Chains A and B, each alone.
Chain A
Amino acid sequence: MTVNNVVTIRGLDHRYGATHALRGVDLTVAAGECVALLGPNGAGKTTLVGALTGMLAPSAGIARIDGADPRRPATRRRLGVVHQQAGFPRTLKVRELVSGWAVRAGRPASDAEAVLTEVSLHDLTKRRVTALSGGQQQRLQLAMALVVDPTLLVLDEPTVGLDIDARRRFWATLAARRDRGTAVLLTTHQIEEAAAVADRVVVLHEGTVIASGHPADLTAQLPDRTVTARTALRDSELRALPDVLDVTVADGRMRAASARAEATVQALLAADPTLSDLRVEGATLEQAIVAMTTQESQEVAA
């Protein structure tokens, strides 16, 4: 089966003076796919997005959108971007901004109407953009990104400032667009949100991709599990259980980190017939990423 890659990044390398921000990064995003680009501050996410959106010329390697160089303005005609903050002009109204954005992308100004309805801003079309709330401004940014009928959406912390309901609607809108083939590249520090919406997570650390895969596959790589239960066993007895790494006990409830949960649970059940409220939790994506980046740093230091 042929995969239609909207984003193709090969050997992307970039330096800011002595700082090596990106070190030969390879990345693809297929049509309809949502890829979350995660990593700590300074990992190179902003530089990668800058190269992909045509903001900067990489020192080496290529970044392409639909096979074309994003440094060329025409390539960005079907690129939608949602920034953390847009800093809208004070003097424009909602409809003026979105219809103008459509025209800039070579589309009819009238396309704005449907998109404003799609993001639930149709009642605010005559309002000055700076009079909108933070959440409404984020939806306005989404409207600007959608009105270009994007093949690629680049989202930078897109749901900051949105309440739960607005987040749900935001991701529902995105899901509908993805069904129509729009590729999504998401950068965020809200890792569990990324885990919920992304098809694939790419972990960037010090300019290098250190992991890539479905969120569940990445968390599965981390053997640690957390076992919790109500038990009569004492702290020293809990620590003696097989494969236990750490134990805390509070209000009669133990919480043990285990390197092999199956063995720990079997021993726990055997040792305490009164055991109740037993739970085993897998590692979160955040824990997995922290473990990966820590291990990577230790290996580099060694």
Chain B
Amino acid sequence: MTASILAVEIRDELYAIIREPTAAFFSIAMPVGMFAVFATLFGTEGNGPVSGATLMLATFGAFGVISVALTPGIGIAEDRERGWLQVKRVSPVPVRTTLAAKVAASLPVAFGVYAAMSLTAFAMGLFDTDMGTWLQIAGLLLLGSLPFALLSMAVGFVARGRAAPAIINAVFLPMAIAGGLWMPLEVLPAFVQDLAVWLPTYHTSQLGLGLLVGESIVDNVAALLAATAVTASLAAIGYRLMRAE
């Protein structure tokens, strides 16, 4: 029965993403559109045999996957404000199932964003990797988005419905730029490059870049585990605050 409950919860969350045009635009269309623009401008500038557009699958791919991973928190804040979360809390569904469904529902959408970017690179003739590596990058990006999903939940547990997306974007967009998701760190000021290594966005993108150029990602994985621990703690604190409301 637990599997069928989870399936219904995931179905409802998928509808919430797909049937909401505003959310779909910011989470899906915008990252893919930005990838197309940047790949057109800089897609041929690469690192050795790997084209710039393919490298961007790791950086813009991280941006796209994280954008979707941040949607659960927005959904939680809206559900709280409308009173729907209260309705769910007196249902037989444990809250952890509802939260897990929000994250689970974001995974296929995030993968879809990554796939759409890849198709764009392929259509431009700039897709320079094999299917195995492509799938590994997808898996790493999805795992690397976990701390962001937890961060968004932390915000969703305490922020008002309309404030949540503003807060999440105010945190994420600077982290995305400073973490090298929009443009290579080399073209950014030195202090931004120094700052980047402290940002989980940087480490998420490095997972894919490391695979593409053959560099170790052990340090990046360690950094993301630490970020996951921190954001999980924030989410737990936010959850307690919400329960005390």
Interface residues of A (CB under 8 A from B): 53-55, 73-77, 79, 81, 83, 85-92, 96, 100-101, 103-106, 148
Least CB distance from A73 to B in Å reads: 5
Least CB distance from B171 to A in Å reads: 25
Pick from A53, A90, A103, A148: contact of B8, CB under 8 Å: A103
User: Which chain A residues border B92 with CB–CB below 8 Å?
Assistant: 73-77, 79, 104-106, 148
CB interface residues, B 83-119, toward A, < 8 Å: 83-84, 86-87, 89-94
CB interface residues, B 3-25, toward A, < 8 Å: 4-5, 8, 11-12, 15-16, 18-20
User: Which chain A residues border B128 with CB–CB below 8 Å?
Assistant: none
User: Which chain A residues border B19 with CB–CB below 8 Å?
Assistant: 90-91
Chain A interface main SS type: loop
Q: In the complex, are the beta carbons of A101 and B91 less than 8 A apart?
A: yes
CB within 8 Å for A79 and B90 given contacts A85-B83, A88-B84: yes
Chain B interface main SS type: helix
Among residues of B, the one whose C-beta sits closest to the C-beta of A101 is B91
User: Which chain A residues border B94 with CB–CB below 8 Å?
Assistant: 73
User: Which chain A residues border B87 with CB–CB below 8 Å?
Assistant: 81, 83, 86-87
Q: Is B162 an interface residue (CB 8 A)?
A: no
CA distance A88 to B88 in the complex (A): 10
Nearest first, the 4 closest Cβ-Cβ pairs linking A and B are: A87-B82, A87-B83, A91-B19, A77-B92
Interface residues of B (CB under 8 A from A): 1, 4-5, 8, 11-12, 15-16, 18-20, 79, 81-84, 86-87, 89-94
CA distance A96 to B93 in the complex (A): 16
Would you list 9 pairs from A and B whose C-beta atoms are within 8 A, ordered by A residue?
A53-B90, A54-B90, A73-B93, A75-B92, A79-B92, A83-B86, A91-B19, A100-B11, A106-B1
CA distance A76 to B18 in the complex (A): 30
Q: In the complex, are the beta carbons of A96 and B20 less than 8 A apart?
A: no
Least CB distance from A39 to B in Å reads: 21
CB within 8 Å for A104 and B93 given contacts A91-B20, A92-B12: yes
Pick from A87, A89, A104: contact of B91, CB under 8 Å: A104
Least CB distance from A64 to B in Å reads: 15
Among residues of B, the one whose C-beta sits closest to the C-beta of A52 is B90
Q: In the complex, are the beta carbons of A103 and B91 less than 8 A apart?
A: no
Q: In the complex, are the beta carbons of B12 and A96 less than 8 A apart?
A: yes
Least CB distance from B85 to A in Å reads: 8
Q: In the complex, are the beta carbons of A83 and B83 less than 8 A apart?
A: yes
CA distance A54 to B91 in the complex (A): 9
CA distance A103 to B3 in the complex (A): 10
CA distance A167 to B90 in the complex (A): 24
Among residues of A, the one whose C-beta sits closest to the C-beta of B11 is A100
Q: In the complex, are the beta carbons of A103 and B90 less than 8 A apart?
A: no
CA distance A81 to B84 in the complex (A): 12
Q: In the complex, are the beta carbons of A87 and B84 less than 8 A apart?
A: yes
User: Which chain B residues border A104 with CB–CB below 8 Å?
Assistant: 5, 8, 91-93
Least CB distance from B231 to A in Å reads: 25
CA distance A92 to B19 in the complex (A): 9
Least CB distance from A112 to B in Å reads: 12
Q: In the complex, are the beta carbons of A89 and B93 less than 8 A apart?
A: no
Among residues of B, the one whose C-beta sits closest to the C-beta of A103 is B8
User: Which chain A residues border B11 with CB–CB below 8 Å?
Assistant: 96, 100
User: Which chain B residues border A105 with CB–CB below 8 Å?
Assistant: 91-92
Q: In the complex, are the beta carbons of B79 and A89 less than 8 A apart?
A: yes
CA distance A220 to B79 in the complex (A): 46
User: Which chain B residues border A89 with CB–CB below 8 Å?
Assistant: 12, 15-16, 79, 82, 84
Among residues of A, the one whose C-beta sits closest to the C-beta of B87 is A86
User: Which chain B residues border A85 with CB–CB below 8 Å?
Assistant: 83
User: Which chain A residues border B1 with CB–CB below 8 Å?
Assistant: 106
CA distance A229 to B12 in the complex (A): 63
Pick from A96, A101, A148: contact of B15, CB under 8 Å: A96
User: Which chain A residues border B4 with CB–CB below 8 Å?
Assistant: 103
Given A81-B87, A103-B8, A104-B5, 18 further pairs, Cβ under 8 A: A55-B90, A73-B93, A76-B90, A76-B91, A76-B92, A79-B90, A87-B79, A87-B81, A87-B84, A87-B87, A88-B84, A89-B15, A89-B84, A91-B12, A100-B8, A104-B91, A104-B93, A105-B92
